[in-house]
Amino acid sequence: MPEHDEVTRSADSGSLSWSVSGLLLALTDALAARFGSLTVHGELSGWSRAASGHAYFTVKDADGAAASLRCVLFRRAATLLDFAPADGQRVEVRGRLAVYEPRGDLQFVVESMRRQGAGTLYEQFLRLRARLEAAGLFDPSRRRPLPSHPCALGVITSPGAAALRDVVTALRRRSPHVPVVIYPCLVQGAEAPASIVRALQQAAARAEVDALLLVRGGGSLEDLWAFNDERVVRAIAASPIPVVCGVGHETDVTLSDLASDLRAPTPTAAAELAAPLRDELLHRLAAVQARMGQGAQRAIDRQSQRLDLLSRRAGQPGGRLAAQTERMASLGQRLGRALSTRALLDGQRHASQERALARAASRGLATQQDRMNTLAMRLHAVHPQHVLRRGYAWVTDEAGVPVPGVDALCAGMTVYAVMHDGRARASVTGTEMDAQWAPSGGLRA
């Protein structure tokens, strides 16, 4: 029976008026009396374990129905589990119904839990993972190294997500000099996969960052299911820009994690892996600068010692310069005399060659002149005019063609006798063959 301060009777209606705590306590008693110890089976979702050791999760129907039951597993019972619970697992829980008074929520206090098998989503996860792994999307050889000194970083997440604030905070702390470009998208719900794919494609088309951070905070398997979508996994694998995936908590593993170039346990860790620590870079740069300065100083010292050594070897530069000047003057005089002697000898040789050439040319010219005179006399002697002057003549026909012999003549034919001072026309009255000439024109014996 409720206490007096928890239940009063309304003065207006005469009905009972409950305090909130009294009503909740009455409901707890009613649930315990009506249901007692229960066994419920379903699929784990939203599993989380607090620092106190207590575990909080939800059990829902494995057939996809919207019904779900909030559960709490206290530390004592949690230490007796013989398996590691994870979202998507089918479990059977035994316990009792109760009301959580601070919020007035119905919850199931779990006293024991055993595993029944993989849940529907988890089975789907395993099947898709096996198929994409067979296609080579999770091959470690595909993974590309992140740029050691990125000029800009891109973040793909929801603009209102806490993960974005964590990432931006970490990037500002580690590398405030690196610009950050936000590619907003949905990270939960039915439209999330297509939104994530569009953000990846937009980043690839704009090509303004050196690495992409795909991040989201923790959640249940259903909350993170967009990152197990095949479209998202293939878009990550096809991205020309290296992708760091930081989705959920350290224990959460999605297919996007496996397809990315680098998996980070949390969004903050993704930022730390992608951005170098500026203070560390400055320290390394200072160390390099110090080594370069020391190296330069050592080089200067070596050259200074070498210069001192050369100076000692050179002695007094004035005396060596005078000796070299005197030697150069002597060589100049010798060169002048050699050139004069050579020019004189060359002139004499050229004059001698010129005289010899003139004598040879004169002798050759006289010889050729004598030969030409001889040939001219011979040619003059055999000239036809000179022969005709001695009383000879040659006979031609009317066309002026020489008659070679009497066999070319016939009676009545007109011929011309060509002499040295003219020609005479004659008519052939007859011909006689000289017996001493052969028919072929040769002289008979």
Tokens of 180: 């950050």
Average pLDDT over the chain reads 84
pLDDT for 102-127, tens place per residue? 888 889 999 988 887 655 677 788 88
Residue with tokens 């050179």: 314
Return the minimum-mean-pLDDT range out of 136-145, 258-267, 334-343: 334-343
Q: Which residues pair with 16 in a beta bridge?
A: 9
Spatial distance between the Cα atoms of 218 and 223, rounded to a whole number of angstroms: 8
Strand 89-100 and strand 37-49: the pairing is antiparallel
Q: Angle CA(63)–CA(134)–CA(157) in degrees, nearest 5?
A: 65
Position 2 scores a pLDDT of 45
First to last CA, the chain: 188
Q: What are the domain boundaries of the chain?
A: 16-117, 124-140+147-279, 379-445
Most confidently modeled range among 16-25, 236-245, 386-395, 411-420: 236-245
Q: Angle CA(265)–CA(271)–CA(273) in degrees, nearest 5?
A: 70
Position 422 scores a pLDDT of 85
Q: Per-residue confidence at 240, pLDDT binned at 50, 70, 90?
A: very high
Spatial distance between the Cα atoms of 75 and 50, rounded to a whole number of angstroms: 9
Spatial distance between the Cα atoms of 120 and 65, rounded to a whole number of angstroms: 12
Spatial distance between the Cα atoms of 279 and 21, rounded to a whole number of angstroms: 56
Tell whether domain 124-140+147-279 is in CATH 3.40.50.9100: yes
Global pTM? 0.47
CATH topology of domain 16-117: OB fold (Dihydrolipoamide Acetyltransferase, E2P) (2.40.50)
